[in-house]
Amino acid sequence: MKKKIFTAILTGAMLCGLLTTPVSAAEPEVRMGDVNFDGAVDIADAQLLLMDYGERLVQKPGILTDAQRAIGNVDGESKTLFDGLGPDAIVTPITIEDAQFVLNYYLVNLVDAAITMEEVVGVTEKYLQAEQAFLEKYKPVWNDETDRYDYVEREG
């Protein structure tokens, strides 16, 4: 009798595990401006953009990865820092304007959840190209340590 009860409990536990484990996870939606990849475009993202821009201004490597810079470049514009310094010039996709767009989006989204980043930035060909370029270059990979997706370069 004890063996039957144990078997029933074990079978039930295994079935519950099968029912709650997803068979395949769909790729998460890319949200331009979500540089920390937490699923929300908010003040934390604007802060990271500003910190990266500040680091680059003092000719440091910055704090963001290439994937984070690509998704943070919401207006599709780049800026050359130290243009007159020849080889020391730095081209950065992150600008003050990107951080401002992210912050504007966050604030407007508090009032109107239907607003999109495209509407805040203004749907421009460069924005659409930046988004498409990001999707072509990077793929989401689940990170068990952070319980969210990181974006890594696609192979080939």
DSSP codes joined into one string, 60-117: ---SS-HHHHHHH-TT---EEESGGGGGG-EEES--HHHHHHHHHHHHHHHH-TT--H
Q: CA–CA separation, 2 vs 92, rounded Å?
A: 68
pTM over 0.75: no
Q: Residue 122: what pLDDT?
A: 78
Dihedral angle computed from the Cα positions of residues 156, 135, 34 and 50, in that order, rounded to the nearest 10 degrees: 70
**Is there a contact between 48 and 69 (Cβ–Cβ < 8 Å)?**
no
**Whether the predicted pLDDT of 90 surpasses 50:** yes
Only one residue has tokens 């920390």, namely 36
Give the model's pLDDT for residue 85. 59
The reported pLDDT for the residue numbered 20 is 46
Domain borders along the chain are 31-153
pLDDT at 16: 47
Task: For residue range 58-86, list pLDDT tens digits in order.
Answer: 878 889 998 899 899 988 887 776 666 56
What is residue 26's predicted lDDT score, i.e. its pLDDT? 67
C-alpha distance from residue 79 to each of 22, 130, 142 (Å) = 43, 14, 32
Report the mean per-residue pLDDT for the chain. 78
Compute the distance between CA of residue 128 and CA of residue 135 in angstroms, rounded to an integer. 11
